[in-house]
Amino acid sequence: MTDKKLSYGSYLQLDRLLDSQTLKSTESGNSVHDEMLFIIIHQAYELWFKQILHELDSVLFMFKGNYVQEENLGTVVNRFDRIIEIQKLLVTQIGILETMTPMDFLEFRDLLTPSSGFQSAQFRLIENKLGMHAEDRIQYGKQRYEKFLDEADSKTVLRSEEDDSLFNLLEKWLERTPFLQMDEFNFWISYQRAVEQMIQGDIVRIKKNTQFDDETQKNSLKQYEGIKRTYNALFDKNKYVQLQKEGHRRLSQKATLGALFIQLYRDEPILQLPHRLLTQLINVDQLFTSWRNRHRLLVFRMIGVKIGTGGSTGHAYLKKTAEKHSVFRDFANLSTYIIPRSSLPELPQELKKELGFYFTHGK
C-alpha cells in the first residue's frame, strides 16, 4: 500500500505522452523546427480516432441482437453528436498544419519515407466498423490496403471486415421498422398513389404553362419521365435489385422503405430520434468527405503533384477517395423520394396513437 496521492500528471501519464515526440530530423543531426508540429498533429488525430472507435463500439453493441431497445436510441444519438463534433475538430485541425509552409515541410519530408497516413490502422477500423466495403475502396499501389500495414495491424483490420458493421446492423434495424403494414393502412401503396398524383400534377402544370416554348416543355416532360423511372425502381422489387447489382443502391428495398417512412413522418414523436440518427449518419459521411478533401488540398499545397511519402500519387489518390469512400450515401439519396407534407398519405388514428407514445417491443 502507498499513500502517494494521485496527481494530474500521473493520471494522464503525461511523462509518457509528452516524451513520445521523436524528431527524425534531430536524429539525423539537422533538427527541423516544424517537425514537432507535424508529429503532434498526427498523434492528436490518432487520439481522436481512438475516441471515435470507443463511441462507435458502444453503438455497435447496442444495435446487435434481434431488437434495439428504444431507450438506447437517445444514447446512440448522443454518441453520434460527440463523433460529429470530433470530426469537425479533425477538419479544423488541418488549419494548424497549414501554418507550416511547403519549404518547411520539405526540410524533413524525405525522412518520413515510406511511412504514410494511409497506414493509420485506427482510421481503417473506423471505416470498416461504419461499413466500408473492401471492394469499394480505391486501391493504393494496386494492392489491398492491409498490405501496407504492420502484421498485427493487418490482422486487426481484416478481422473487422468480418464483424457486423454499423451499416449492416442499421439495415436489419430498418427492415424491422414497425407501423408500415396495418389492416387498414399500407404505407407502400398509399405513398405510391401520392407520388403518382404529385408527378401527374407537375406534368399537367408543365403542359399548361404558356410561358414554356415547345423545346423547354419537351425537355421538362423528358425530365419527368426520368423521375418516374426513379420512383418505379423504388416500387418494383426486380428493378430495385437491378439497381443494387449495378452499384447504384446498397441498402435493401425493405430497409429503404423503413428509412423513407421515418424521413417522411419525422414529426411524429416516436420517429424523431430515428430521424435524427439517419441525419447524423449523412453528416458523418459528409464530414469525412470534407476531411479528405481538406487533406487533399493540404497535400497539393505542400507537395503539388509529387508522389506521397508512402508511394501514392498523393493529391490524385486523395481526390478519388473523397469522391468514392462513402458509406451512407443511400440515406442521403432518400431526398429523391421526399414529397411535400401536404401530399403525405394521412395516417390512420390507431397508427397516429402508436406514433405519439413510447413504443415498447412486445407490449
pLDDT by residue, tens only, the chain of 363 residues:
556 789 999 999 999 999 999 999 999 999 999 999 999 999 999 999 999 999 999 999 999 876 677 778 999 999 999 999 999 999 999 999 999 998 889 899 888 887 777 788 999 999 999 999 887 777 766 778 787 888 898 899 899 999 999 999 999 999 987 765 555 667 778 888 888 888 888 889 998 888 888 899 888 888 888 788 878 888 888 999 998 898 889 999 999 989 999 999 999 888 999 999 999 999 999 999 999 888 888 888 887 755 554 444 556 666 666 667 789 999 999 988 888 888 888 887 877 777 775 545 554
Half-sphere CA count of 240, side-chain side, radius 13 A: 15
Report the C-alpha gap between 53 and 359 in whole angstroms: 30
Write down the pTM of the prediction: 0.85
- How many DSSP H helices and E strands does the chain contain? 17, 2
The pLDDT score that the predictor gives to residue 21 is 96
The pLDDT score that the predictor gives to residue 60 is 96
The pLDDT score that the predictor gives to residue 318 is 66
Could you tell me if 280 and 80 are in contact, meaning their C-beta atoms sit under 8 angstroms apart?
yes
Q: Which fold has domain 33-181+251-335?
A: Methane Monooxygenase Hydroxylase; Chain G, domain 1 (1.20.58)
Residue spans per domain, the chain: 33-181+251-335
Could you tell me if 97 and 41 are in contact, meaning their C-beta atoms sit under 8 angstroms apart?
yes
Please give the grid coordinates belonging to residue 308: 506521397
Residue closest to 284 by CA, chosen among 119, 94, 90, 139: 90
Could you tell me if 150 and 158 are in contact, meaning their C-beta atoms sit under 8 angstroms apart?
no
Q: From the centroid of its chain, how far is CA 28?
A: 41
Could you tell me if 140 and 317 are in contact, meaning their C-beta atoms sit under 8 angstroms apart?
yes
The pLDDT score that the predictor gives to residue 183 is 58
Report the C-alpha gap between 350 and 359 in whole angstroms: 13
β strands within the chain, DSSP E:
181-182, 185-186
178: three-class secondary structure by DSSP: coil
Q: Helices 253-264 and 187-208 meet at what angle, rounded to 10?
A: 70
Report the C-alpha gap between 133 and 35 in whole angstroms: 35
